[in-house]
Amino acid sequence: MKRRLPYFVLLIVAILAYGLLLPRLGFYWDDLPILWIRYQLGAEALTRYFSTNRPVWGLLYQLTTSVIPDKPIYWQIFALFWRWLGAVIVLAIVEKLWKGKPRLVLSVALLFLVYPGFTQQWSAFLYSHFFIVLFFFLLSYLLMLRAVEKPNHYWKLTALGLFFSALNLWMMEYFYVLELMRVGVILAALRYETLSLRERVIKTFKLWLPYLIVFILAVLSRLFIFNNQVYGIGLGASLKSAPLETVIALARNIRFTLKLVLRDAWMQVTQLPNIASVESILNSYYFVVAAAILVLIAGFLFISQNRSNDSSCSDTKRLKLLLLEVLSPDSLWMIGLGIFALLLSGWPFWLVGFVPSLAWPASRFTLPFMFGVSLIFAGIINLIPWERIRIVLLVSLVALAAGKQFLAANEYAQDWQTQKELFWQLTWRAPNIAPDTAIVMNEGALKFYADNSLSPVVNWIYAPEKRSEDIDYVLLYPTTRLRSPALPKLEPDLSIFTEYLAGQFHGNTSQILAVYFMPPGCLRVLDPEVDLANRSIPEQSLMRFASRLTNYELISSESTAQMPKPYEPEPEHGWCYYFEKADLARQFEKWDEVAALGNKAFAQGLQPADPAERFPFIEGYAHLGSWDRAVELSKRSFAESERMGKPLCELWERIEAETAAGGPERSEALLAIKRMFACNS
């Protein structure tokens, strides 16, 4: 039981840090394109997707997706399992290198497990495959160490180690150069053997040679056989044109990265969240921290029970043993190996000019550094001569990091809910969208999605049976895509072209729906006559200018949209449902339906978060002759935001043009609106 305790401690901490919100988590960022390709376009499309982008890694996706369905909960559990298993392998490796040091060994594994520099665990579909490759890499180290211990099984274990090392090298480049850390691991494993320098060098080289050959073959294959990886190994043209400047920039990048992964990543755990209430404290951050601390302290006390119960050991003897433990070279070896690992970890990114960051999505570049950082921190903590301080410091770091990861999980859970609301509201407003339509939408509503993450979902919804290489829909952020082939200008009749690895989109700026989505407000298909004047839409979003391109003819009322399984079930019908349906009815001038939806929503006490969401109802009531109701809603919108004055004038100008003249109520309403909002001034 005692031998298995570290595994249980790691599992409980993994669940506390990453698993408490699993039912509320979904798919994020690059999860969505690959999911759409595999589960809608099929296995052949997935092969094409990876054909120029890590094809061996693509075989792993073929295997996992043939077993696991497209439901978020399964992939979240799958990713959590591999995150935990990676920590278990780290524990096993460090246990081989530092025998008889259970607390030190567990320290490294815990720090590795909750490393706060990487906070994208919940893109589970994508990163489960990252952690599988990391597991292969670490497993090759463990097999190598076991081969050293068991000479009778040396070649069997070495063959397995070489196989998993090759999988790492040919699948992806994140842990590619870190493979060279192997020589440091071998030296650490042999450090207590009585060997001359020459004998030590020869034995180290013999143990390393099979893996070095595999590494060299992998390098040669990238250089001469398969040289179209995402990251190339080479400094490129900049080194030839400006060698000194390139070397200086590289040195600065290395220095910045090391500071980032060693200091800045851990400083994040001291940043408390914005707390709205005492209840939110108890239900989130401190709950996780307290639970993690209790579990870890229990684990450490259990592991050290034999030592603490040794009453026959005098205080003087205990002090001597403590000093011998602190002054032993174990900590220095661990720190040295960690530094060696760090100096190798970043080359896949440094060589191509990528700068790791703690922000999304660049925090993924911290993944190769986790092992080295964990060794360094555990080694430094082990240098502290007071045992209780060591335990308190380690437990506090791990517990705070676990709490930080939980907070990140909560942000992911909220973003998944927001993204689901986006697409449900889109289908309510646009039950059918003509093929070759580009949806132009503002940035800022979603934190963990790019526009090319969302385009596949639009295709998944509106073209569920499509299997060809041409795709029917694309979603674009104008702040990202403007002045590119995807969106040359916000002007009509210009060609649009976007290429995915699984297909191409050919469109035209005259076939655009401009959509604004900023929760808690509802999704709005922008009105080309009204929203150009709506200054509540931030100018820097470019969406007021994009509103001129909205082509309502691209939306039909025939419902053909099919919501993918990950987005089910349909949410409850609140204000946004009635607004979207009313805006759709307004488009087709079904004024009775608009008014009926308004009456139903207002009778339930529902109210908009954005005053512009009353506009369809204002227009509907006006067309039915309920002028007092239309004026009342206009006044309410203006009272909530004076920025509504100009768009209300535009709306009422259209109402005046489209309603029949005559009747004092109409004249009084129009006059009141013009005076109230100074429409003709």
- The residue type found at 117 is G
How far apart are the C-alpha atoms of 326 and 383, rounded to whole Å? Answer: 5
What are the extents of the domains in the chain? 5-306+319-412, 430-561, 572-681
Cα 76 from chain centre: 13
How far apart are the C-alpha atoms of 86 and 153, rounded to whole Å? Answer: 24
Find the Cα–Cα–Cα–Cα dihedral 594, 595, 600, 605, rounded to 10°: 100
Find the Cα–Cα–Cα–Cα dihedral 656, 657, 658, 661, rounded to 10°: 60
Is the distance from CB of 406 to CB of 288 less than 8 angstroms? yes
How far apart are the C-alpha atoms of 526 and 534, rounded to whole Å? Answer: 10
Separation in Å, CA 224 to CA 178, 217, 218, 296, 668: 21, 10, 10, 50, 80
Angle (CA) 296 302 303, round 5°:
90
Six-digit token pair at 618?
């204002």
Is the distance from CB of 57 to CB of 129 less than 8 angstroms? yes
Nearest one of 551, 540, 489, 487 to 515, comparing CA atoms: 551
Separation in Å, CA 340 to CA 95, 98, 219, 262, 335: 19, 17, 21, 14, 9
How far apart are the C-alpha atoms of 672 and 679, rounded to whole Å? Answer: 10
Size (the chain), residues: 681
- The residue type found at 412 is Y
Residues with pLDDT less than 50, the chain = 229-234, 278-279, 282-283, 305-312
pTM reported for the whole predicted model: 0.90
Six-digit token pair at 332?
């220095």
Separation in Å, CA 60 to CA 131, 278, 288, 467: 12, 46, 34, 22
Confidence (pLDDT) at 680: 77
Task: Name 13's Cβ contacts closer than 8 Å, sequence gap at least 6.
Answer: 110, 113, 114, 292, 295, 296, 398, 402
HSE-CB for 499 with a 13 A CA cutoff: 4
Task: Name 624's Cβ contacts closer than 8 Å, sequence gap at least 6.
Answer: 591, 592, 595
Six-digit token pair at 203?
């034995």
Q: Which residues pair with 475 in a beta bridge?
A: 439
**DSSP 8-state code for residue 482:** B
HSE-CB for 668 with a 13 A CA cutoff: 9
Angle (CA) 450 452 453, round 5°:
65
Q: How many CB atoms sit inside 10 A of residue 267's CB?
A: 11
How far apart are the C-alpha atoms of 498 and 652, rounded to whole Å? Answer: 39
- The residue type found at 273 is P
> What's 35-101 look like in SS3?
HHHHHHHCHHHHHHHHHCCCHHHHHHHHHHHCCCCCCHHHHHHHHHHHHHHHHHHHHHHHHHHCCCC
- Parallel/antiparallel/unpaired status of strands 495-500 and 473-476: unpaired
> 475 by DSSP, 3-state: which?
strand
Q: How many CB atoms sit inside 10 A of residue 82's CB?
A: 19
> 642 by DSSP, 3-state: which?
helix
Angle (CA) 314 320 324, round 5°:
145
Angle (CA) 629 631 636, round 5°:
95
Confidence (pLDDT) at 272: 65
Domain 572-681 has CATH 1.25.40: yes
**DSSP 8-state code for residue 262:** I
Six-digit token pair at 135?
């597991």
**Does an H or E element contain 499, and which?**
strand 495-500
Nearest one of 632, 431, 618 to 527, comparing CA atoms: 618
Helix axis angle, 124-149 relative to 182-189, nearest 10°?
A: 40
Find where tokens 């001597």 sit: 320
